[in-house]
Amino acid sequence: MSGDVAARATEGFRQRYAAEPAGHWAAPGRVNLIGEHTDYNDGFVLPFALPLRTVVAAAPGPDARWTVWSELDDAPVEFGAAEADEPGRVDGWAAYVAGVVWALRAAGLDVPGARLAIASDVPVGSGLSSSAAIEAAVLAALVDLGGLDLPADRWPRLAQRAENEYVGAPTGIMDQSVVVRGRAGHALFLDCRTEEVEQIPFDLDAAGLAVLVIDSRAPHRHADGEYAARRRSCERAAATLGVTALRDVPTDGLDAALARLDDDETRRRVRHVVTENQRVLDTVALLRADRVRETGPLLTASHASMRDDFEITVPEIDTAVEAALAAGAYGARMTGGGFGGCVLALVDADAAEKVAAAVTTAYADRGFTAPHTLTALPAPGVTRLP
Ligand code: GAF
């Protein structure tokens, strides 16, 4: 079992249901090394799964009824097929659970009734994808409990449908893909159009490096209007340019494409997506060549693009990036949907503390709430715990 978080899920299950769970399923949070707001443009991303996990303890329950307890909330949530079959009927954190039931049923699967207890070390609202972690852990639990015939390569799309159509957040496929398909010691190079993946070795320990993750503590809400507005603007631009998605604008065709767009804001949105896709490909090429430190400038360029062209950063985030770079990071960028969330910085392992301290000082100087920091090593995707 994965330490305390699994014990908390077990304890929650026992207290709530006065019974033993039939099993435990764990799914990670994630950070995205590079490739932001490219997934819903059919582009490229390079995330990795974190050691922080959400654990679901579960057992079969009455037919077509689900009871879910989470340590986020004292009261359990109970719903049946009628609520599961109507997007929006269950809300709050439990919507991610009901959404998975909905997506499985919509795919024609006979989802078993179940009782579930959820505990998590993935902080909520920090941009580390606590929602995809819940979705994947619940999905794995229901598939196993029901003996459902559903190969794991279909899980990311189903979990994404839960989030898009049941919860109503118009996110792409990145988070669900990496929490399902992540591998220890690797970053996941994903083509979001074809869903083809390549596991790229990302052995930070061997290189004497660390990825420092800095939780900006600025509230993160990617389900809100700004995320949806960026997505709409990209889709409109693709339609104007006569392409299926912005992925189809090649880097060497960027200037010509920009010349065909008539407002400056849309031009900047398109420039972010097209240059960001290229930065993912360049980062992958450097990692394949074992030139990890040299990816730093690409990470920093990605940040500048999110700040100036996509306009999704906030002062806390920019402060963290600047302070990390000034303290010697090879590169630093916001990771995730934006408007808060986390920054990641590529640093020498023995400099991680110094860089974290420099960010904390810069925050204090600006009067921001102190950041939280952790160092992140790529961990496995969703699993059933032994
Ligand atoms: C959020 C979304 F859920 C992802 O699909 C992705 O678009 C990301 O923001 C931005 O890259 O995490």
What 160-164 contacts at long range (C-beta under 8 Å, 24+ apart), as own/partner pairs, is 161/99, 161/103, 161/106, 162/96, 162/99, 162/100, 162/102, 162/103, 162/135, 163/96, 163/99, 163/131, 163/132, 163/135
Report CA(219)–ligand 1 centroid distance (Å). 16
| Distance (Å, whole) CA 40 – CA 252 | 21
Ligand 1 closest atom vs CA 227: 9
To which H or E segment does residue 160 belong?
helix 155-161
Report CA(192)–ligand 1 centroid distance (Å). 12
pLDDT, mean over the chain: 96
- pLDDT beyond 50 at 1: no
- What pLDDT does residue 2 have? 46
Alpha carbon 265 to chain centroid distance? 26
Ligand 1 closest atom vs CA 32: 11
Burial class (CB in 10 A: 0-12, 13-18, 19+), 125: middle
Locate all alpha helices (DSSP H) within 184-337, ordered by sequence. 204-207, 225-241, 254-259, 264-288, 296-308, 315-326
pLDDT tens, residue by residue, 181-236: 999 999 999 999 999 999 999 999 999 999 999 999 996 555 478 999 999 999 99
- What pLDDT does residue 125 have? 85
- What pLDDT does residue 63 have? 87
What pairing do the DSSP bridges indicate for beta strands 114-120 and 65-70?
A: parallel
Q: Which of 186-190, 269-273, 283-287, 336-340 is predicted least confidently?
A: 336-340
pLDDT average, residue stretch 268-278: 98
- Which residues in 299-327 are b (16+ Cβ under 10 Å) and which e? bbbbbebbbebbebbbebbbbbbbbbbeb
Which pTM was predicted?
0.96
Out of 121, 175, 215, 309, the active site residue is 175
pLDDT average, residue stretch 146-161: 97
The single residue listed with the structure tokens 């809300």 is 91
The neighbour count for residue 331, using CB atoms within 10 Å, is: 25
Q: Which of 32, 40, 171, 221 to mutate to test the pocket of ligand 1 (most atoms within 8 A of CB)?
A: 171
Q: For residue 309, indicate whether it is catalytic.
A: no
Report CA(38)–ligand 1 centroid distance (Å). 8
Which residue's C-alpha comes closest to atom 1 of ligand 1?
337
Q: What does residue 70 show for φ and ψ, rounded to 5 degrees?
A: -135, 150
13 contact partners, CB below 8 Å, separation of at least 6 = 19, 20, 21, 57, 58, 59, 69, 115, 116, 117
DSSP three-state, residue 286: helix
- pLDDT beyond 60 at 317: yes
Ligand 1 closest atom vs CA 172: 5
- pLDDT beyond 50 at 350: yes
Q: Which residues does a 6 A CB cutoff place in the pocket of ligand 1?
A: 32, 36-37, 39-40, 171-172, 174-175, 222, 336-337
- What pLDDT does residue 62 have? 85
pLDDT average, residue stretch 310-338: 97
